[in-house]
Amino acid sequence: MLNTKEKIIDESRQGEALEGRRLPKSNGRKVFIESYGCQMNFSDSEIVASILQKDGYGITKLLHEADIVFVNTCSIREKAELTVRKRLTEYNKQKRKNPKMIIGVLGCMAERLKSKFLEEEKIVDLVVGPDAYRDLPNLVEEVDGGRKAVNVILSKEETYGDIAPVRLGGNGVTAFVSITRGCDNMCTFCVVPFTRGRERSRDPNSILQEVRELSLAGYKEVTLLGQNVDSYLWYGGGLKKEFDNLSEEEKKTSTNFAQLMGKVAQVDRKVRIRFSTSHPKDMGDELLHVMARHENICDYIHLPFQSGNSRVLEMMNRGYTREWYMNRIDAIKRILPTCSISADIIAGFCSETEEEHQETLSMMEYVRYNFAYMFKYSERPNTMAQRKYEDNIPGKTKQRRLAEIIELQRGHSLEILKKDIGKTYEVLIEGVSKKSDNELYGRNTHNSVVVFPRENYNVGEYVMVTVESCTSATLKGKAVK
């Protein structure tokens, strides 16, 4: 807990961080932003809020107050798109009460469905892709003038590195910092390269400055974000190059992801650092050694493997084999023996046999993940898999394989968390438990959720918690002095 002197210093630091950020005169209009999908989408919404605030717009959390409504969309799975469509229906009900309301679609669905939204279904007024957010004030003016507005042009340079995000609906404790945009991997099942464009890295100085400002504002944890953070490489230009293709001068001034992590960790030793998402083909030992050297880099890695079979991985264009992935797991456990690991897993990819599904289960047994994000394959329009392969695994088979994956993972998660009973962890308090106002929750270095009695502790404090029991998803314990 912070003592009185520390609280005064903390408030002073927050004031210092906010100084010079006074908002321009209000134009009287309020914007409601709702986000779906990955952490990158939520981070992008914070950039959108910053751009609009600088143009005089207010931000509201209440739909009925809004003059402009934006939904930041996700196309990674069909379910996500269906959710967005339902929300657009709700927005249009509200618009009937307020005909001047502007409805806009941002993000990954924008490029793919712009014509359908604007011309066929006529359910939105404005469509903006992930690289065109700076154009939003101009696009709103177009709609005000009675025209539909669209900008889905992808950029090879845009990183929004000079924009200080407005932290929307956050807890004031944890924050996301985007370090790359786009993706070059071209996994056959994925729409990201088509909706977010080529991969480009952000200037490390702007990243470090954003982390410094978050520290001064009282944030206690920062997560560095990118579709593939491990391939981060800054050499004075934005668009990705392989290190071996750099000139000697570029190599001298370049910064890779491991080096960036080391610099970020030194901004404030009291601020925890996390990162997501890693790609197995780019996960090198250098990063693992940096993690081992810096105590404030959390002992946790999200390393998607998608399938445990090399043939399926080749069809997915993942760039590694089963054996390569296992080698990376071995390196993590050798260099970071207490590190927790999570993964993404796809059940029922095109032509996956029962034996190949069993290899996915055996990979799970080999690694024993702390937790995982598990899905059945959902064919996405315009991806290489949709154009090249037949989605020929019956729905019932996909569902059964997914159920087997979930059951196995639930058992592993419970087994791992049971081993934490009796141990004491430092927990960063993030909020009040959903189940009881008398309990708080936070996460430990392994990204495990920990719930404990509220007592006199507050959100944003670090507290030592001794684990007394667990479920397959949560540790439960009691704070100790």
Is 189 inside a domain boundary? yes
The better pLDDT of the pair 12, 241 is held by: 241
Residue 401: inside a domain: no
> Of 263, 298, 333, which one is at a domain's C-terminal end?
298
Does 132 share its domain with 178? no
Tell me what the mean pLDDT of segment 30-56 comes to.
91
In a domain, 72, yes or no: yes
The answer on 143 and 84 residing in a single domain is: yes
Whether 180 and 291 share a structural domain = yes
Position 75 pLDDT exceeds 90: no
For residue 16, is pLDDT > 50?
A: no
Q: Are residues 185 and 289 in the same domain?
A: yes
Same domain as 179, residue 136: no
pLDDT at 17 over 50: no
Show the tokens assigned to 469. 């029991």
Per-residue pLDDT at 241: 56
pLDDT of residue 5 exceeding 50, the answer is no
Looking at the domain assignment, is residue 305 inside a domain? no
Indicate if the pLDDT at residue 19 is higher than 60.
Answer: no
Report residue 190 CA to chain centroid gap. Answer: 16
State which of 151, 179, 209 marks the end of a domain.
Answer: 151
pLDDT band at 2 (very low <50, low <70, confident <90, very high): very low
**Residue 97 and residue 73 in contact, taking contact as beta carbons nearer than 8 Å:** no
3-state SS assignment for residue 405: helix
> Regarding beta strands 371-376 and 340-347, do their DSSP bridges make them parallel or antiparallel, or are they unpaired?
parallel
Residues 141 and 219 in one domain: no
The pLDDT value given to residue 481: 84
Overall number of domains in the chain: 3
- With a pLDDT cut of 90, the percent of the chain lying above it is 72
Residue 449 has pLDDT above 80, yes or no: yes
User: How crowded is residue 119: how many other Cβ atoms within 10 Å of its Cβ?
Assistant: 9
User: Is there a single domain that holds both residue 143 and residue 180?
Assistant: no
CATH number at residue 272: 3.30.750.210
- How many CB atoms within 10 Å of residue 403? 13
pLDDT at residue 166 above 90? no
One domain, residues 102 and 35? yes
197 and 115 in one domain? no
Across the range 276-297, mean pLDDT stands at: 97
Residue 23 pLDDT? 62
Please give the pLDDT value at position 237. 57
The pLDDT of residue 39 is: 83
Q: Is the peptide bond before 277 cis (omega within 30 degrees of 0)?
A: yes
The verdict on residue 127 lying in a domain is yes
Residue 70 has pLDDT above 90, yes or no: yes
- Phi and psi at 186, nearest 5°, equal 55, 45
pLDDT at 8: 36
The dihedral built from the CA positions of residue 331, 312, 374 and 365, taken in this order, carries a sign that is: negative
- Compute the average pLDDT of residues 203-208: 95
The residue out of 298, 322, 356 marking a domain boundary is 298
CATH number of residue 457's parent domain: 2.40.50.140
pLDDT score for 18: 42
Interacting residues of 473 by C-beta distance below 8 A, sequence separation 6+: 371, 413, 417, 449
Q: Is 304 inside any structural domain?
A: no
Tokens 């069809």 found at: 315
Domain span at residue 435 reads 424-480
Say what the pLDDT of residue 112 is. 72
pLDDT tier for residue 168 given thresholds of 50, 70 and 90: confident
Residue 244 lies inside a defined structural domain of this protein: yes
Q: What is the pLDDT of residues 348-393, one digit of tens each?
A: 999 999 999 999 999 999 999 999 999 999 998 889 999 999 999 9
